[in-house]
């Protein structure tokens, strides 16, 4: 199997693990404030990681640590804005706005890397974005969903839109740094920086009376911490850092757009939430967008030869 296709497969696995967090985090926020949840989640991951960091200190160098710091800051603010936004907006709108990163990534890829997305990838982006709109409509009218987005845009939606922009920038910079820096350093520094920033901003928020810390032990919260720390943080960040460089940022965005599909399917089986016919059309469009990007990419490559 070509490394490119294997990388796409494991990034799809990452997206599946992320998709499961949607319901888990939403449930966990009933017992924990958003920034505190991020702080504990990444602190658990950092403590698990620390023995491996001390064992491999010789691979750390200035350039890789600096790159990891930049990625860590982007990762923290991405998760912070997403988690805060999820507290104030609906899961449907959050899924749509987060999924909009698929159309934001090509812009930053062009601006930051001066690298034009392929024609095939852009065709895929178009299908995926329309598919996300269908999937996120929740009902049977796409027009009513778009009207709802426009009329009822709230602070949670604003945070979630910022999350999409920050994740898009993170994807592009990860593409740049993972090609030339030590993968383990990028991976571990990101986790540790996010844990530190989560703790700092929790204390700052309390000191400024911006956020009232809510914390109540429950089985759902414990499961939320363990799942997000181990599966949705350590495993996904390690895989993403190692393999994303094998695909373009735009293609990575197409793969990550499967997150709302996985979230909807998991919610269907776990929470018995229904997927509307409109939503099923959206799932098919997202799937077609990913497949068509490969097909059209090969067609355009053959035409250019």
Question: First CA to last CA across the chain, in angstroms?
Answer: 24
Q: Which is nearest to 8 in space by CA: 246, 286, 263?
A: 246
pLDDT in tens, the chain (305 residues): 578 889 989 999 999 998 888 778 878 888 988 888 999 999 999 999 999 999 999 999 999 999 999 999 999 999 889 888 877 776 666 766 777 777 788 888 888 888 787 777 778 778 777 777 776 665 555 565 556 555 556 788 788 889 989 999 999 999 999 999 999 999 999 999 999 999 998 887 666 565 667 788 999 999 999 999 999 999 999 999 999 989 888 788 888 878 877 877 777 777 666 666 776 777 787 777 777 766 666 565 545 44
**pTM exceeding 0.85:** no
Find out whether 29 and 79 touch, Cβ atoms under 8 Å: no
Question: Under DSSP, is residue 290 helix (H, G, I), strand (E, B) or coil?
Answer: helix
Residues making up the chain, counted from first to last: 305
**What whole-number distance in Å separates Cα of residue 189 and Cα of residue 101?**
24
Q: Domain ranges in the chain?
A: 3-304
Cα dihedral 72, 34, 20, 93, rounded to 10, equals -100
Question: Under DSSP, is residue 182 helix (H, G, I), strand (E, B) or coil?
Answer: coil
Find out whether 156 and 94 touch, Cβ atoms under 8 Å: yes
**φ/ψ (deg, to 5) at 213:** -70, 125
Other Cβ atoms less than 10 A from the Cβ of 215: the count is 11
**What whole-number distance in Å separates Cα of residue 278 and Cα of residue 138?**
8
**What whole-number distance in Å separates Cα of residue 189 and Cα of residue 65?**
7
Give the burial string for 99-136 (b: 16+ CB within 10 Å, else e): bbbbbbbbebbeeeeebebbbbbbbbbebbbbbbbbbb
């Amino acid at each position: 199997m070509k490394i490119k296709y294997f990388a796409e497969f494991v990034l799809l696995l990452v997206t599946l693990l992320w998709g499961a967090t949607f319901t888990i985090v939403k449930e966990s926020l009933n017992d924990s404030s958003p920034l505190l949840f991020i702080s504990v989640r990444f602190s658990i991951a950092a403590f698990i990681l620390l023995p491996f960091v001390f064992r491999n200190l010789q691979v750390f160098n200035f350039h890789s640590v600096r790159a990891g710091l930049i990625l860590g800051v982007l990762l923290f603010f991405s998760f912070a804005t997403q988690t805060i936004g999820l507290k104030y907006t609906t899961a449907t709108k959050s899924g749509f706005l987060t999924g909009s990163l698929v159309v934001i990534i090509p812009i930053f890829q062009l601006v930051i890397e001066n690298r034009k997305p392929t024609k095939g990838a852009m065709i895929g982006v178009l299908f995926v974005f329309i598919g996300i709109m269908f999937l996120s409509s929740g009902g049977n009218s796409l027009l009513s969903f778009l009207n709802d987005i426009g009329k009822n845009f709230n602070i949670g939606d604003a945070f979630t839109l910022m999350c999409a922009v920050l994740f898009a920038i993170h994807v592009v910079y990860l593409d740049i740094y993972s090609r030339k820096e030590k993968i383990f350093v990028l991976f571990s520094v990101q986790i540790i920086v996010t844990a530190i920033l989560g703790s700092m901003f929790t204390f700052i928020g309390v000191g400024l009376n911006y956020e009232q810390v809510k914390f109540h032990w429950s089985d759902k919260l414990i499961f939320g911490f363990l799942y997000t720390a181990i599966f949705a943080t350590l495993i996904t960040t390690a895989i993403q850092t190692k393999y994303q460089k094998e695909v373009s940022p735009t293609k990575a965005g197409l793969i990550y757009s499967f997150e709302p599909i996985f979230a909807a399917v998991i919610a269907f089986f776990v929470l018995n939430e229904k997927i509307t016919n409109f939503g099923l059309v959206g799932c098919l469009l997202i799937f077609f967008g990913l497949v068509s990007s490969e097909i059209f990419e090969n067609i355009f490559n053959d035409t250019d030869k």
